[in-house]
A and B are shown apart, each in its own frame.
Chain A
Protein backbone atom coordinates (compact mmCIF):
# COMPACT_ATOMS: atom_id res chain seq x y z
CA UNK A 1 0.00 0.00 0.00
CA UNK A 2 1.09 3.54 -0.69
CA UNK A 3 2.10 5.66 2.26
CA UNK A 4 1.11 9.25 2.89
CA UNK A 5 1.76 11.35 -0.19
CA UNK A 6 2.24 15.11 -0.38
CA UNK A 7 2.49 17.55 -3.23
CA UNK A 8 4.33 19.49 -4.34
CA UNK A 9 7.75 18.39 -3.08
CA UNK A 10 9.25 21.84 -3.20
CA UNK A 11 7.76 25.29 -3.62
CA UNK A 12 9.19 28.77 -3.85
CA UNK A 13 6.88 31.71 -3.23
CA UNK A 14 7.23 35.45 -2.74
CA UNK A 15 6.16 37.33 0.39
CA UNK A 16 2.47 38.18 0.32
CA UNK A 17 1.52 35.32 -1.98
CA UNK A 18 -0.77 32.43 -1.12
CA UNK A 19 0.08 28.73 -1.22
CA UNK A 20 -1.87 25.45 -1.16
CA UNK A 21 -0.28 22.20 -0.05
CA UNK A 22 -1.89 18.82 -0.62
CA UNK A 23 -1.91 15.54 1.27
CA UNK A 24 -3.32 12.10 0.57
CA UNK A 25 -3.54 9.80 3.60
CA UNK A 26 -2.92 6.10 3.74
CA UNK A 27 -5.93 4.22 2.40
CA UNK A 28 -8.46 3.71 5.18
CA UNK A 29 -7.07 6.45 7.42
CA UNK A 30 -9.68 9.07 8.27
CA UNK A 31 -7.54 11.43 10.34
CA UNK A 32 -5.08 13.88 8.82
CA UNK A 33 -2.82 16.26 10.73
CA UNK A 34 -0.54 19.05 9.53
CA UNK A 35 2.76 20.09 11.09
CA UNK A 36 5.32 22.81 10.42
CA UNK A 37 8.99 22.04 10.95
CA UNK A 38 11.59 24.79 10.82
CA UNK A 39 15.24 23.87 10.55
CA UNK A 40 16.71 22.39 13.70
CA UNK A 41 13.42 22.04 15.55
CA UNK A 42 10.79 19.40 16.08
CA UNK A 43 7.52 19.63 14.12
CA UNK A 44 4.85 21.99 15.45
CA UNK A 45 1.18 21.01 15.22
CA UNK A 46 -0.99 23.15 12.94
CA UNK A 47 -4.30 21.30 12.38
CA UNK A 48 -6.01 17.95 12.76
CA UNK A 49 -9.01 16.85 10.71
CA UNK A 50 -11.14 13.77 11.21
CA UNK A 51 -14.05 12.85 8.99
CA UNK A 52 -13.86 16.34 7.40
CA UNK A 53 -14.24 18.09 10.76
CA UNK A 54 -11.52 20.15 12.42
CA UNK A 55 -10.54 18.38 15.63
CA UNK A 56 -7.61 20.51 16.71
CA UNK A 57 -5.77 23.71 15.91
CA UNK A 58 -2.30 24.73 16.98
CA UNK A 59 -1.00 28.17 17.82
CA UNK A 60 -0.85 29.51 14.27
CA UNK A 61 -2.38 32.72 12.87
CA UNK A 62 -5.59 32.81 10.88
CA UNK A 63 -3.53 33.03 7.70
CA UNK A 64 -3.32 29.26 8.02
CA UNK A 65 -6.39 27.23 7.09
CA UNK A 66 -7.11 23.69 6.04
CA UNK A 67 -9.85 21.39 4.92
CA UNK A 68 -10.48 17.70 4.39
CA UNK A 69 -12.35 16.23 1.48
CA UNK A 70 -14.80 13.29 1.34
CA UNK A 71 -11.96 11.00 0.18
CA UNK A 72 -10.02 12.08 3.34
CA UNK A 73 -7.35 13.95 1.40
CA UNK A 74 -6.53 17.37 2.76
CA UNK A 75 -5.27 20.79 1.77
CA UNK A 76 -3.37 23.33 3.83
CA UNK A 77 -3.63 26.95 2.71
CA UNK A 78 -1.41 29.76 3.85
CA UNK A 79 -2.25 33.34 2.88
CA UNK A 80 -0.11 36.48 2.91
CA UNK A 81 3.12 34.51 3.15
CA UNK A 82 5.90 35.79 5.42
CA UNK A 83 9.58 34.92 5.32
CA UNK A 84 9.07 33.05 8.60
CA UNK A 85 6.67 30.65 6.92
CA UNK A 86 9.63 29.03 5.19
CA UNK A 87 9.67 25.49 6.55
CA UNK A 88 9.03 21.82 5.86
CA UNK A 89 5.30 21.15 6.02
CA UNK A 90 4.45 17.63 7.07
CA UNK A 91 1.19 15.76 6.78
CA UNK A 92 0.39 12.73 8.91
CA UNK A 93 -2.46 10.25 8.77
CA UNK A 94 -3.65 7.82 11.39
CA UNK A 95 -6.16 5.07 11.91
CA UNK A 96 -5.77 4.89 15.66
CA UNK A 97 -2.85 6.04 17.84
CA UNK A 98 0.15 5.70 15.56
CA UNK A 99 0.75 8.54 13.13
CA UNK A 100 2.37 8.03 9.73
CA UNK A 101 4.06 10.95 8.05
CA UNK A 102 4.48 11.91 4.44
CA UNK A 103 7.73 13.15 2.85
CA UNK A 104 6.79 16.78 3.37
CA UNK A 105 6.63 19.88 1.22
CA UNK A 106 9.57 22.25 1.45
CA UNK A 107 8.26 25.83 1.23
CA UNK A 108 10.68 28.67 0.67
CA UNK A 109 9.40 32.24 0.90
CA UNK A 110 11.61 34.91 -0.64
Chain B
Protein backbone atom coordinates (compact mmCIF):
# COMPACT_ATOMS: atom_id res chain seq x y z
CA UNK B 1 0.00 0.00 0.00
CA UNK B 2 1.49 3.30 -1.10
CA UNK B 3 2.00 5.93 1.56
CA UNK B 4 3.31 9.42 0.83
CA UNK B 5 4.89 11.70 3.40
CA UNK B 6 6.05 15.30 3.21
CA UNK B 7 8.32 16.86 5.81
CA UNK B 8 8.40 19.59 7.00
CA UNK B 9 4.77 20.65 7.20
CA UNK B 10 5.79 24.30 6.94
CA UNK B 11 8.85 26.19 5.73
CA UNK B 12 9.71 29.88 5.79
CA UNK B 13 12.60 31.29 3.74
CA UNK B 14 13.83 34.75 2.70
CA UNK B 15 13.30 35.86 -0.87
CA UNK B 16 16.02 34.76 -3.29
CA UNK B 17 16.93 31.59 -1.45
CA UNK B 18 17.15 28.25 -3.28
CA UNK B 19 15.13 25.58 -1.49
CA UNK B 20 14.25 21.91 -1.59
CA UNK B 21 10.92 20.33 -0.68
CA UNK B 22 10.90 16.64 0.21
CA UNK B 23 8.48 13.83 -0.57
CA UNK B 24 8.86 10.22 0.57
CA UNK B 25 6.93 7.19 -0.62
CA UNK B 26 6.84 3.60 0.57
CA UNK B 27 6.23 1.60 -2.62
CA UNK B 28 9.22 1.81 -4.94
CA UNK B 29 7.18 0.26 -7.78
CA UNK B 30 5.98 3.71 -8.53
CA UNK B 31 4.41 4.59 -11.90
CA UNK B 32 4.94 8.31 -11.63
CA UNK B 33 5.03 11.15 -9.17
CA UNK B 34 3.26 14.47 -9.57
CA UNK B 35 3.97 17.76 -7.81
CA UNK B 36 1.18 20.29 -7.27
CA UNK B 37 0.85 23.80 -5.96
CA UNK B 38 -2.20 24.89 -3.97
CA UNK B 39 -3.00 28.47 -3.03
CA UNK B 40 -5.22 28.97 0.05
CA UNK B 41 -8.77 27.75 -0.56
CA UNK B 42 -8.05 27.01 -4.21
CA UNK B 43 -7.68 23.96 -6.40
CA UNK B 44 -4.44 22.21 -7.29
CA UNK B 45 -2.15 23.36 -10.07
CA UNK B 46 0.00 20.66 -11.63
CA UNK B 47 3.65 21.67 -11.63
CA UNK B 48 5.60 18.64 -12.80
CA UNK B 49 5.02 14.97 -13.47
CA UNK B 50 7.94 12.54 -13.39
CA UNK B 51 7.48 9.15 -15.00
CA UNK B 52 9.03 6.12 -13.31
CA UNK B 53 11.58 5.87 -16.15
CA UNK B 54 12.76 9.45 -15.59
CA UNK B 55 15.06 10.82 -12.93
CA UNK B 56 14.08 14.47 -13.16
CA UNK B 57 11.89 17.06 -14.82
CA UNK B 58 12.40 20.79 -15.14
CA UNK B 59 10.03 23.69 -15.67
CA UNK B 60 11.43 27.19 -15.35
CA UNK B 61 12.80 27.66 -11.83
CA UNK B 62 11.43 24.29 -10.74
CA UNK B 63 13.25 20.98 -10.88
CA UNK B 64 11.81 17.72 -9.59
CA UNK B 65 13.80 14.56 -9.09
CA UNK B 66 12.77 10.97 -8.48
CA UNK B 67 14.84 8.28 -6.74
CA UNK B 68 12.81 5.09 -6.62
CA UNK B 69 15.45 3.09 -4.77
CA UNK B 70 15.42 5.46 -1.81
CA UNK B 71 11.69 6.21 -2.05
CA UNK B 72 12.24 9.94 -2.39
CA UNK B 73 11.34 12.83 -4.64
CA UNK B 74 12.50 16.41 -4.24
CA UNK B 75 11.20 19.66 -5.67
CA UNK B 76 13.93 22.26 -6.07
CA UNK B 77 12.87 25.90 -6.36
CA UNK B 78 15.56 28.29 -7.50
CA UNK B 79 15.68 31.95 -6.53
CA UNK B 80 12.47 31.86 -4.52
CA UNK B 81 9.99 34.74 -4.79
CA UNK B 82 7.10 35.85 -2.53
CA UNK B 83 4.74 34.65 -5.29
CA UNK B 84 6.00 31.11 -4.67
CA UNK B 85 4.26 31.14 -1.28
CA UNK B 86 1.72 28.32 -1.33
CA UNK B 87 1.27 24.73 -0.21
CA UNK B 88 3.15 22.18 -2.29
CA UNK B 89 1.79 18.66 -2.52
CA UNK B 90 3.27 15.53 -4.03
CA UNK B 91 1.17 12.56 -5.11
CA UNK B 92 1.66 9.11 -6.54
CA UNK B 93 -0.92 6.81 -8.10
CA UNK B 94 -1.94 3.68 -6.23
CA UNK B 95 -1.18 1.14 -8.93
CA UNK B 96 -2.07 1.89 -12.52
CA UNK B 97 -5.39 3.46 -11.74
CA UNK B 98 -6.35 7.07 -11.31
CA UNK B 99 -6.34 7.06 -7.52
CA UNK B 100 -3.67 9.50 -6.35
CA UNK B 101 -2.15 9.15 -2.90
CA UNK B 102 -1.20 12.58 -1.57
CA UNK B 103 1.26 13.72 1.03
CA UNK B 104 0.09 16.18 3.65
CA UNK B 105 1.78 19.06 1.87
CA UNK B 106 4.48 21.57 2.77
CA UNK B 107 3.29 25.14 3.35
CA UNK B 108 5.96 27.44 1.93
CA UNK B 109 6.26 31.08 2.90
CA UNK B 110 8.78 33.26 1.06
CA UNK B 111 9.43 36.50 2.93
CA UNK B 112 10.33 39.69 1.00
Are B98 and A41 in contact, with the CB atoms below 8 A? no
Q: Which 3 A-B residue pairs are closest in the complex by CB-CB distance?
A: A42-B102, A101-B44, A48-B98
Chain A interface size, under 10 / 10 to 19 / 20 to 34 / 35 or more: 20 to 34
B104: Cβ under 8 A from any A Cβ? yes
Chain A-chain B contacts (Cβ-Cβ < 8 Å), number: 68
CA distance A43 to B97 in the complex (A): 16
Q: Report A63 CB to chain B, min CB distance, Å.
A: 20
Interface string of B68-112 (1 = CB under 8 A from A): 000000000000000000000101011001111111110000000
CA distance A33 to B51 in the complex (A): 20
Are B43 and A90 in contact, with the CB atoms below 8 A? yes
CA distance A103 to B46 in the complex (A): 12
B34: Cβ under 8 A from any A Cβ? yes
Interface string of B12-54 (1 = CB under 8 A from A): 0000000000000000000110101000011111100101000
Q: Is the interface of A mostly helix, strand, loop or mixed?
A: strand
Per a CB cutoff under 8 Å, which of B4, B49, B94 touches A97? B49
Q: A33-B100, A43-B91, A45-B94 provided; 20 other pairs, C-beta below 8 A?
A: A4-B43, A6-B43, A35-B100, A41-B105, A42-B89, A42-B105, A43-B89, A44-B102, A45-B99, A56-B98, A56-B99, A58-B99, A88-B41, A92-B44, A98-B34, A99-B34, A99-B46, A100-B46, A101-B36, A101-B45
Contacts of A44 in B (CB 8 A): 102
Per a CB cutoff under 8 Å, which of B42, B98, B99 touches A103? B42
A41-B104, A42-B89 known; A97+B31 contact, CB < 8 A: yes
Are B43 and A42 in contact, with the CB atoms below 8 A? no
Are B43 and A102 in contact, with the CB atoms below 8 A? yes
Which residue of chain B has its CB nearest to the CB of A57?
A: B99
Q: Report B54 CB to chain A, min CB distance, Å.
A: 12
A31: Cβ under 8 A from any B Cβ? yes
Are B43 and A101 in contact, with the CB atoms below 8 A? yes
26 A-B pairs (CB sep. < 8 Å): A4-B43, A6-B43, A33-B99, A41-B104, A43-B44, A43-B89, A44-B102, A45-B94, A45-B99, A45-B101, A48-B97, A55-B97, A55-B98, A56-B98, A58-B99, A92-B44, A94-B98, A97-B32, A97-B51, A98-B34, A98-B46, A98-B49, A99-B34, A99-B98, A101-B46, A104-B43
